[in-house]
Every structure is written in structure tokens, then in C-alpha cells.
Structure 1
Amino acid sequence: MSTVIEQAVRARLVASAPRMESVPATLRYDRRDPFAVQMAFPAQAALEGVEVAWAFSRELLTAGMDEPAGVGDVRVRPFGYDRTVVEFHAPEGVAMVHVRTSEVRRFLQRAQHLVPAGCEHRFLDLDRDLAELLRDAR
């Protein structure tokens, strides 16, 4: 059984200009990091010209589809009938993307089959994580 789920989505980049540009993005879930999801954007979609990936709570993504959620670097909220807005706050500014809520729900359902919500602690490998911390501290 695979431990990673990846799903391509189309994100509509909301810019200060009146038009909205569609960019590819990938939602990713890895049961080795059971509390988090990632949203990655390819180099051509990023200002710096390198792939950008944001990691944030799976619970935040779930909650944000139904009501505004988040107060930090990543905020999620519903928009209209079938859109979810994900805002990424960085020192350089704010990036805001619209994603189809149906795509986000499908992704989260797949993640739910891999690691049921509330059972994330069962998939933590504290020995491996501690070994990595100690190795990195040398």
C-alpha cells in the first residue's frame, strides 16, 4: 500500500490585476507526516522561478472548506459554490489561489482512507524522528 497521495489540481491565481491566471498545483499527503498536507507549485508558477511547496495542517484544509480557518502563514476559506481559497502569507507578500472544493474534498477523502482523522498519532515514528533530529544536530 502506498504511503503517499498526490493529486494534481488547477489553481486560479488571484493577482492585483483583474484577470485570474490558472496554474498547475499538486496536493500531497504522506502518512509518514500524518498531520500535514502540502500544496506545491512548479517553477513557472513562482516568482522566484523555483518550485515552491507549502506544508500546513490537514485539519486546517478540512475546516477551511466550510468556514474561514487559519491565522498564520496559511489561511483557508470557502468562496462561492465550489471554490476554496488558500492564502499563503510570506514576507514578500500574499499569494492567493482558488481551487475547486470538489477536488480538495476528493483529495482529503483519499487521505482519510490512508490515515483516518483522529488516528494520526498511530502513524508517527518517534524513534525515526528523534534519530533525524540528533543526526541533524551534529
Structure 2
Amino acid sequence: MHSVVHVLTADVVGPHAIAGRLTTHLRHLPDDPLAVHCDFFSPGGRRVTTWVFARALLEEGVHGPAGEGDVRVCPAGPRTTEVTLRSPSGQCVLHLRTAAVLTYLARSDAWPTAVAARVASAVDELLTGLHAAG
């Protein structure tokens, strides 16, 4: 099984304007099908950092506010999705083209049968563990 990698440009938003642009890769890995691996690259093409968060945040965030923790996603106009990343050292606000986010979601939604079976198995294990603990 292969991963899905979608390359896009993220606008880094400052208090009053766009502060810069980053090349961003949204990755969907078959071994981690419920997550988005979001890689950020320097202008020279070197990967600077990776954030991993729930894919559901992107799915929900293109339509309305999603997330309560370190990653929040919401619409920022008719063509833009805003992603806010928070860490102890500060926060970064990114604007992504909503069409690019939707393309990534569509590409990563076409899971092979084996990946769908792994997700179902992981959910079953979680529910069994919760039932046993409860």
C-alpha cells in the first residue's frame, strides 16, 4: 500500500497580513489512516517540522470550527481554510486553499480494503478495552 502525498502552499498569517509562504505536504499513511502528517519545508526545500493530527479535523474544519487543543481548523472565507497550530513556544496561523484540502481528503478517502479493515480492527480493540475497563 502506498501513502498519499498532496503538495500545497500555506500562507503564514501574521497579525495584519501574510507573513510568508511555506511548501506543505499533507501525507496520509496506510499504517496511520486516521491521521494527517503535515510536513513544512524551508524555502530551500528542507523539511523543517512535521505536525500529526486527526484527519477528522480537516474534514470538519473546511465546513466549520473544529479542534479544541493544539490544532484548530476553521473556514476563513469561501476559498480558504485556516489551520492554527499551538505549541508551548507560540502559535502559527496558516491559510490553505480549501480546494486543495478537499482534493487531499478525496485522495486519502479512497482507502484500500486492507486499510479499512485495520481501522475497523483498531476501533473494535478500543471499544473492547473501554468496555472491559468500564
TM over 0.5: yes
Gaps in structure 1 of 5+ consecutive residues: 127-138
TM-score, normalization by structure 1: 0.76
Q: Equivalent residue for 2:102? A: 105
1:31, CA displacement in angstroms?
1.2
Query: What CA distance in whole angstroms lies between the structure 1 residues aligned with 2:16 and 2:28?
Result: 32
Q: How does 1:27-66 map to 2 (within 5 A)?
A: 27-44=26-43, 51-66=48-63
Q: Equivalent residue for 1:8? A: 7
Contact 1:44 1:50 in 2 (8 A): no
Counterpart of 2:118, as a letter, is R
Moved >6 Å (runs of 4+): none
Percent of counterpart pairs with the same letter? Answer: 30
1:23, CA displacement in angstroms?
1.5
Deviations 1:89-135 (A, max 9, x none): 0011110100000000000000001258xx75635887xxxxxxxxx
Q: How many residues align?
A: 120
Query: What CA distance in whole angstroms lies between the structure 2 residues aligned with 1:124 and 1:109?
Result: 20
| From 59, 78, 84, the counterpart of 1:87 | 84
Counterpart of 2:100, as a letter, is E
Gaps in structure 2 of 5+ consecutive residues: 123-134
Query: What CA distance in whole angstroms lies between the structure 2 residues aligned with 1:17 and 1:115?
Result: 43
Query: What CA distance in whole angstroms lies between the structure 2 residues aligned with 1:43 and 1:125?
Result: 38
Contact 1:32 1:125 in 2 (8 A): no
Query: What CA distance in whole angstroms lies between the structure 1 residues aligned with 2:121 and 2:41?
Result: 30
RMSD: 2.5
Q: Are residues 120 and 35 of structure 1, via their aligned partners in 2, closer, same or farther at CA, if it must alter by over 3 Å?
A: farther
By percentage of residues, which structure has more strand? 2
Q: Are residues 120 and 54 of structure 1, via their aligned partners in 2, closer, same or farther at CA, if it must alter by over 3 Å?
A: farther
Query: What CA distance in whole angstroms lies between the structure 2 residues aligned with 1:56 and 1:113?
Result: 19
